[in-house]
Chains A and B, each alone.
Chain A
Amino acid sequence: MSPPRVLSCTEPPVRERAPPEENRTSTHPWCTAKNLEVCERNRPSTYIYKIADEKIRNHAQQGLSSSHEVMGLMVGGLFRWQDREYTLVRDVVTTDLDSDMLGVRFRADGFAGLIDSLDDLDFNYRIVGWYHSHPGIGCFLSHIDHSTQSGIFNQSHHSALVVDPKNKELEVYSGTELTSFRIYWDRFQDPC
């Protein structure tokens, strides 16, 4: 039997949209010094919505008491402005997890919940990356994380956020390198 035949591949155009205004963005209070250096040297490639960041950190805090890792998907969109592409992380979704101190993944019976969360989003989503926690062990990409980056999140607009809620550290990677990112908030929203 021959394998399925590819007839065509289509890709929606990247939408033109100005990035968040600079006065509605900031560096992340938990950003590590080495990631901050990257942020200071480069224009942001990723903007993370303040509420998405809060959800990620709250989720990581929940796993802290048991020292279990937590994980979820970052959803948003890819945009272009003045010939430069950037990613907005508008929200996060997660579900029940199989996790311990060394690893994490979605439970097989958790995908129905994950799909419900995706369907509940009020925008046409793209999964733009993933987050997971390293409770008490600092931010880095493990061997397993490298495999996830190369096997799934291997496009330039993808990112991996790693958070250590115990040490209050956070890093964002594109591929296996630290990338420049900022937190953004809506007009009239309290940035604190």
Chain B
Amino acid sequence: MGIRLKVKNAEMGKELTLELSPDETIEDVINSAAEYWNKDSGAYIIRRGKQILKGGMKISELGILNDDVVELIPDPEGG
């Protein structure tokens, strides 16, 4: 049984529920959400409350509980 994580997209207002295994990483979460929403996975950061979650962090290391909510924040680049 995996861990359910809710991923809120700050620029779409939508919320995705993912089922994760403890070995999966925040990068996996961003990649899955970006693919689902047809976004550039390299153009987002993810936060839980005030904490910015780094891409290499494993779900098991973060103490994530079922139905915790994280938020995707855009990291745009202008030129």
Contacts and interface: CB of A to CB of B under 8 A. Distances in A.
A78 interface: yes
Nearest to A99: B78
A112 B52 contact: yes
Contacts of B79: 69, 102-104, 142-145
B8 to A, nearest CB: 10
Contacts of B73: 111, 114-115, 118, 127
Contacts of A9: 14-17, 36
Contacts of B75: 105-106, 111
Q: For chain B, which range describes its interface: under 10, 10 to 19, 20 to 34, or 35 or more residues?
A: 35 or more
Interface residues of A, number: 47
A12 interface: yes
Contacts of A126: 10-13
Interface string A10-50: 11100000000000000000000000000000000000000
A153 interface: yes
A31 to B, nearest CB: 20
Taking chain B's interface residues, is the majority helix, strand, or loop, or is none over half, making it mixed? mixed
A118 B49 CA distance: 11
Interface centre among A3, A69, A132 (most CB of B within 10 A): A3
Nearest to A116: B50
Contact of B77 (A7, A111, A148): A148
A150 B39 CA distance: 8
Contacts of B20: 4
B61 interface: no
A7 B39 contact: no
A10 B14 contact: yes
B17 A8 contact: yes
A3 B43 contact: no
Nearest to B5: A4
